[in-house]
Structure 1
């Protein structure tokens, strides 16, 4: 295949745009800012779980404290009632003895309940501190996530802007290349995944960095300036320049 030598030079500009677009696509796929968002989301989910568990513990302990407070109050009211009966002087000695035994039992019961209540209140205080810490951590995680999302969105916007510019530049270059040469270039580009042409510099293909030897080098030296050369290793179109070393 033959194509004007100067037209072949345009393939290098086209290849440069394709390499830039490939790099932008790779950057989008491997964006560190996107990974940072995922990490921030995971941190927020974990801390949200911590808050829910802490809230549940505080609620359960608070309910237990209220139950014990109610039990203590019930015992206290019973003590008051028994004491009034004893103080009234209207009970028999046997009833008085029974009331005294019951009153002693109620006092022990009240003491036990108050000890349990105190222990629960201490646990509740610890749980409330843990809840506060978890809530503060969650708020920080939300702020971190918000910042991470903004950084990711800024990076994606930058990539989108760069992609649009390089696509426009590519279209402009492609418009000046013949259909046959452009078709060949695009076919090779799909095979390589990056570009369809590379400069031949110092007798080496700059696409795969393999140097030409023997018959391949001789063929390149003797080829017509308008002959479209191909790299035997990577299949790219080899564009000859003043630095080709032929």
Structure 2
């Protein structure tokens, strides 16, 4: 059974479609803001930077412990060396064998101090490198955070503007659908959901405004012969086809009032 609707109501359906298409476009704009893509990319990058900062801080902390131990070891050996020297310098060791043993021990302590000092120096160099790496990572993460804050502010501003436009369009839809036949509106909404947001299209110059295909002559003749209040569906895409003076049918058309 063919759905019936006043030709003027069918034409008004195009206004509703335009509003709904605008809403879809605005929502797409909001979901496709360039800030969103950059924020996602930077957040991934920041996660890597956070790992770098964590790892660099662990290295610095570990080297700090090693360096303190190295400094302590050096100080202990230096203290022992100084104590032995003082004993020898003060003439407290008179036995020849003890003196020889002490001399050998001092030589060993000198070598030990030299070895420990070299190790301490190496640790200090590694510490400097680790601190530089930590500082670089922290600078990069700070710059990333600053950029993320700027992007978030820009995103919020644009979303606010889009939301204002969206609410204005949504507010116009209520009056646009008012008094439209419930069955016509229900069919339109069902088709719009199934057809990528477009449920009704203008038949213009013998072409469907939905699928953009030209209506074949036989189908065009059927449409032309149909009563003005018949709700016509595109043979190809099944969208509601609204007839107007632009449809290329000639004679009396929907919504013309003639």
Pick the TM interval, shorter chain: over 0.9
RMSD: 1.6
1:165 matched to which residue of 2?
A: 168
Tell me the alpha carbon deviations over residues 167-209 of structure 1, each in whole angstroms, 9 at most, x when there is no partner: 2111110014122322222222222131221000110100111
2:135 matched to which residue of 1?
A: 132
- Structure 1 unaligned regions, length at least 5: none
- Which of 184, 199, 203 is residue 200 of structure 1 equivalent to? 203
3-state secondary structure, aligned to 1:157 = helix
Alignment of 1:55-66 (within 5 A): 55-66=57-68
User: Are 2:95 and 1:69 equivalent residues in the alignment?
Assistant: no
Between the aligned partners of 1:65 and 1:187, the Cα distance in structure 2 is: 73
Deviation at 1:76, TM superposition (A): 0.8
**Contact conserved, 1:198 with 1:238, CA < 8 A, in 2?**
yes
Between the aligned partners of 2:119 and 2:92, the Cα distance in structure 1 is: 36
**Contact conserved, 1:37 with 1:152, CA < 8 A, in 2?**
no
Between the aligned partners of 1:72 and 1:224, the Cα distance in structure 2 is: 105
1:11 matched to which residue of 2?
A: 13
User: Are 2:189 and 1:189 equivalent residues in the alignment?
Assistant: no
Tell me the alpha carbon deviations over residues 109-158 of structure 1, each in whole angstroms, 9 at most, x when there is no partner: 00011111111111111111111111111110111111222223233333
1:217 matched to which residue of 2?
A: 220
Between the aligned partners of 1:187 and 1:59, the Cα distance in structure 2 is: 64
Aligned length: 246
TM-score by length of 1: 0.93
3-state secondary structure, aligned to 1:226 = coil
Between the aligned partners of 1:156 and 1:170, the Cα distance in structure 2 is: 21
User: Are 2:248 and 1:229 equivalent residues in the alignment?
Assistant: no
- Which of 242, 246, 253 is residue 243 of structure 1 equivalent to? 246
2:22 matched to which residue of 1?
A: 20
Deviation at 1:213, TM superposition (A): 0.6
3-state secondary structure, aligned to 2:246 = coil
For structure 1, which segment, 227-236 or 152-161, has the greater mean C-alpha deviation from structure 2 after superposition?
A: 152-161
- Which of 94, 98, 102 is residue 95 of structure 1 equivalent to? 98
3-state secondary structure, aligned to 1:57 = helix
**Contact conserved, 1:15 with 1:195, CA < 8 A, in 2?**
yes
TM-score by length of 2: 0.89
Between the aligned partners of 1:208 and 1:159, the Cα distance in structure 2 is: 28
3-state secondary structure, aligned to 1:194 = coil
Deviation at 1:29, TM superposition (A): 4.1
Between the aligned partners of 2:186 and 2:120, the Cα distance in structure 1 is: 84
